Structures are given as C-alpha cells and as structure tokens.
C-alpha cells in the first residue's frame, strides 16, 4: 500500500481538534463583565453636587436679566441641560463660550434636542446665569 501522509489519513480528527481549539481560544479571550463597584453610602450631612449646579447666589444674577427667575427655574434648566445635552455629547462648560455664541448654539441645539420654548428659555437662562457666575459680570 502506498504511503498516505498522516494529516490526510486522519483529517477528521485533525479538523475536530482544530475546531475545539478555536472555540477554546475564542471563549478564553472574551472578557468577563466586571462586578459593579460598591460605593459607600454618603453621609446624610454631605450633599454631592455638580459644580455646575445652580446655587442661591445665582438667582440674583439671573434676576438682573430676567424678572421672576427662581432657584427652581435654574435647577430645572440645569436638569434639562444635563439630561438632553448628554444624549449626544458631553456637556459644554458655560464659561467656554460667549453670550452671543451660546445664543447661536442654543438656537441650533435647542431644535435638535426638541426643546419647547419654555425648556429652551430655562436652559438658556441657566447657562447664561452660570456663565456670568463663573466669569463674573462684564465678561
């Protein structure tokens, strides 16, 4: 009988072993989902707030431009800003743009975010107020 190479004579076994090896390699390279990190509960006396969240002193700045603005209005504007703007990109810092640039940005992005006129005004008032609070008046 003619000599037949080993790999041809045993192709079924070689194919099976190769398939098992590929499956093992693919399964081994899959990273397990890391366990959720536990965060210790915050002390009831400590409130963790974003540095961009409105504070009481911001109300006076807002009222110098728009009558009747309350801290609740600024918080609502911040909440909409934080929620809607992060749907597509990271939030921009209020001090990174001029008042004129914010008006242009809000005109364009307000439509994309499907803000109604009340939401639009809440967000714009929040942004311009926080910008002035950070930079000071006259900037």
Which of the four pLDDT bands, split at 50, 70 and 90, describes residue 27?
Answer: low
pLDDT value of residue 18: 72
Is residue 103 pLDDT above 80, yes or no? yes
Span 42-93, pLDDT tens digits:
545 545 578 889 999 999 999 999 999 999 999 999 999 988 887 787 778 8
Is the pTM value of this prediction over 0.85?
Answer: no
Span 111-121, pLDDT tens digits:
998 999 999 99
Q: Token match 């194919």: residue?
A: 15
Of 51, 60, 138, 62, give the one whose Cα is nearest residue 91.
Answer: 51
DSSP string for residues in 2-28:
----HHHHTHHHHHHHHHHHHHHHHHH
């Amino acid at each position: 009988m003619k000599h037949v190479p080993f790999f041809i004579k045993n192709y079924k076994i070689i194919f099976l072993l190769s398939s098992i090896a590929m499956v093992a390699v693919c399964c081994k390279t899959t990273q397990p989902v890391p366990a959720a990190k536990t965060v210790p509960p915050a002390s009831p006396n400590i409130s963790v707030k974003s540095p961009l969240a409105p504070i009481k002193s911001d109300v006076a700045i807002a009222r110098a431009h728009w009558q009747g603005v309350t801290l609740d209005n600024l918080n609502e504007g911040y909440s909409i800003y934080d929620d809607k703007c992060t749907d597509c990109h990271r939030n921009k810092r209020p001090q990174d743009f001029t008042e004129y640039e914010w008006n242009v940005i809000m005109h364009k992005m307000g439509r994309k975010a499907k803000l109604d006129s009340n939401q639009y005004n809440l967000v714009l008032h929040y942004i311009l107020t926080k910008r002035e609070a950070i930079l000071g008046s006259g900037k």
